[in-house]
Structure formats: C-alpha cells, structure tokens
Amino acid sequence: MKKILVIEDEPQTREILIESLEAEGFNVISAENGHIGINQVKQHLPDLVICDIMMPELDGYGVLTTLRQNPITANIPLIFLTAKASEAEQYYGIEIGAKGYLNKPCTVEDLLRVITNVSDLYKEQTVISG
C-alpha cells in the first residue's frame, strides 16, 4: 500500500497519524471530516482509508456506507480508528464493511500491524477475484 487517506476531526490526532505514516514511507492524504474525506477518496483513490467514527456532519459509518455504494470506491479497504470501543460497535463496523478496527489510543505499531493485515487480506482478495 502506498497512498493512505486519514479522516480524523481532531487536529492533533490527525497530525500524529500523518507524521507516523509518512515516517513509514506512506503517501498520506488527510481530511478533517467525513464529507471532505469522501471527496478526497473520489479525487485521489487511496489504497486504504483510516477513519474516525465519531465526527460532526458525517460520521465514519456514513463515510463507509457512502464509499461502499459507489462502484469506484466500494473495494477500498477502510480501518476504523476510534474511541467507540464496545464489542457491539466493533461488530457493526465490520458488518458494514470495515476491514479493521483499532481503539484509541493506539500505538504506531498497532496501527502498522492492522495496515499490514488489511493489505495482506486485500491482496488475497484481489488475487482470488482476479
């Protein structure tokens, strides 16, 4: 994976994610809310989206639902990174199509592990369907 979109409304968290991912060699795009995030996905077609759930205007569930309804963006993997940590919320996120779920706060190592797992899963799905 090369291009990652980070959708996070909290500026400090967003900057930490951007800096950490860029330090690992990723090309990072960011958005401060779900509406801007959806526009960024359409414009840049990232390899992966990392998205907060609790955001004003359009939450992460709305972002994922919108992306899955568009054939061009439907297969872009999305990881939720959120403080919504209940099992029911995690199951719901996976049920509607998230490929990963990380609870805040998390370490860079945790984030990279989930990215690696998702990218491996994504590669396998591509090979199987291709």
- Report the CATH number that the domain containing residue 84 is assigned in CATH: 3.40.50.2300
Q: What is the pLDDT of residues 46-82, one digit of tens each?
A: 999 999 999 988 999 999 999 999 999 999 999 999 8
- Give Cα separations from 31 to 53, 66, 90, 113, 121 (angstroms): 13, 16, 23, 23, 25
Domain ranges, residue 61: 3-129
Gap between the Cα atoms of 58 and 55, Å rounded: 6
pLDDT > 50? residue 31: yes
Gap between the Cα atoms of 130 and 124, Å rounded: 10
pLDDT score of 106? 85
> 130 exposed, middle or buried (CB, 10 Å; 0-12, 13-18, 19+)?
exposed
Cα 50 versus chain centre, distance: 2
Q: How many domains does the chain have?
A: 1
Helix segments in the chain, DSSP class H = 11-23, 34-44, 60-69, 87-95, 108-129
Q: What is the pLDDT of residues 71-130, one digit of tens each?
A: 999 999 999 998 876 788 888 888 888 998 888 888 888 988 899 888 765 554 433 323
pLDDT score of 128? 34
Entry pTM:
0.88
pLDDT score of 129? 29
pLDDT score of 96? 86
pLDDT score of 35? 96
Q: Which has more pLDDT, 117 or 7?
A: 7
